[in-house]
Amino acid sequence: MLKNKTNEEKVDTLLAKSLVPIIDLAHCGTEECPVKSVVTRVGHQLHKALTEKGLALLVNHGICDEKLKTAWDHLDDFVDLPDDVKKHYIRTGDDNHGYVSPGIERFDGKTPELRHAFNICTLNAKNLPEEPLPGFADHISVLAEDFKALARFILQALAISLDIPQTFFLEKHSHMLSGDHDNETTLRLLYYPPVVEDDESSKNTYVKGRSKYSYQRCASTQPDFRPEYDPRDEYNEVDGGENNKNTTERHLPNGAVIRCGAHTDYGTFTLLSQDSEGGLEVQLPGSEKWHRVGHLPGAILVNCGEILSIWTQNKYAALPHRVVVPEQEHLRSRGRHSIAFFCHPDNMTMISPNDLPLHAENQDAINKKPRKKSFKAAKEKVYNAYQLIQKRFRDTYTNGSQ
């Protein structure tokens, strides 16, 4: 039986403080024919959210929670496979597709990170564990296409938010999920195992196996995720209690093991779905404090990556974030599941802050700058999307066993 929570065990969240923008995607139309007024409205909301907070939560996005839960079940089944079966699907070399076992990735270059991940860059069934896990390839392919459709809508809204042609970003992301030789876009299934600490000698070990996670069943394939109550008035065990008055800075416990170290994402933007175990923390723009985001059932979080930051000259900054191991013993003994869709431009797309068409007032300001400074900026080296992400991969996979 769990003991009652003390004030020290409660964790305040940005969501509880109404500091996370929530954007409703209801009635957005189809991928082939989005409703122009909705794209425009979402674009304006994204502009405000990403410039002020660096992130937003998307609701009524049309991806049913049932699909997410089933994907997590498939990942659990994969983790349970014998090692000699899993080894056939391991991520190798510069290819990003495949399984990544705990301890391989190290965002700080030295600390092993405690998670299982399966990266999906192509929907070719031969690269997915369909034979040992019947149904895996079909289900994940459908889910990946759902995320891709949502990403294409966001790309159009982002273009509107920057007052550029609506198809500008779409044209530069035309090969998403065609394979990482054409485009590094990745659907990533993530499972963070429970952490157990029986005594000093066994600290920072983890146990293998499944864990229960919260799941809100959808009534239809086009659900309305808005609950009847205000989720900011209630917290779950992870996200805190109602007696907190301030957003709390928190520190990583037991630094020898972390779930996901502090980093910014590499690509254009990320779509993230997570279960109620939470643990995601961010640094808001202009702040170095870490804040727990909180959990809104059914919502998908969107945050910017480094490439979009370059394109917008840091108007939309890449948001630093991490996943912590909960301090509370009864919470750290549970696992955590999430799904991330990392949206990237096509590999040969050149990424330059001079790519985006400028507003008239911005162009006038540039024309007034001294010629020498403009000439220096013109000489700066420009990289394509593939070169940028490969450099970041090399920084992350410092363990020679990848």
At 266, which CATH number?
Answer: 2.60.120.330
Phi-psi region of 163 (alpha: psi -120 to 50; beta: other; left: phi over 0): left
Residue-wise pLDDT for 251-285, tens only, equals 444 445 567 767 788 899 999 998 876 678 888 88
Position 242 in a domain = no
Confidence check: pLDDT of 121 > 70? yes
Residue 218 C-alpha from the chain's centroid: 22
User: Is residue 25 a part of any domain in this protein?
Assistant: yes
* pLDDT for res 206: 45
Q: Residue 68 and residue 383: Cα distance in Å, rounded?
A: 35
234 vs 193, higher pLDDT: 193
Report the range of poorest mean pLDDT among 221-225, 340-344, 359-363.
221-225
Percentage of residues in the chain having pLDDT higher than 70: 69
pLDDT tops 90 at residue 152: yes
Residue 11 — pLDDT band, cuts 50, 70, 90? low
Mean pLDDT of 353-382: 54
- The parent domain of residue 314 ranges over 15-211+250-358+383-399
CA distance 324 to 251: 8
Q: Look at residue 245 in the predicted model and tell me its pLDDT.
A: 36
- Domain presence at residue 223: no
At 348 the pLDDT is 93
Q: Is 115 contained in some domain?
A: yes
Least confident of 61-65, 134-138, 191-195, 268-272: 191-195
Residue-level pLDDT at 284 = 86
> Does residue 246 have a pLDDT over 90?
no
Question: Does some domain include residue 377?
Answer: no
226 domain residue, yes or no? no
Q: Which two tokens stand for residue 28?
A: 């957005």
Average pLDDT of span 74-79: 95
pLDDT at 285: 85
Cα–Cα dist 5/316, whole Å? 38
The residue among 74 and 322 whose pLDDT is bigger is 74
* pLDDT band at residue 197 using 50, 70 and 90 as cut-offs: low
More confident residue, 100 or 226: 100
| Contact between residue 59 and residue 298 where contact means Cβ atoms under 8 Å apart | yes
HEC string for 166-200: CCHHHHHCCCCCECCCCECCEEEEEEECCEECCCH
pLDDT of residue 95: 81
pLDDT band at 238 (very low <50, low <70, confident <90, very high): very low
Q: What is the mean pLDDT of residues 323-330?
A: 72
Model confidence at 219: pLDDT above 70: no
Number of compact structural domains in the chain: 1
Q: Calculate the average pLDDT of the chain.
A: 76
Is position 363 within any domain?
Answer: no
pLDDT value at residue 363? 45
pTM, full prediction = 0.79
User: Does pLDDT of 232 surpass 80?
Assistant: no
pLDDT of residue 107: 63
Confidence of residue 358 (pLDDT cuts 50, 70, 90): low
**How far apart (Å, rounded) are the C-alpha atoms in residues 325 and 197?**
12
300, β-bridge pairs: 58
The reply to whether 19 falls in a domain is yes
| Helices 136-161/36-52 angle, 10° precision | 80
**For residues 122 and 178, is the Cβ–Cβ distance under 8 A?**
yes
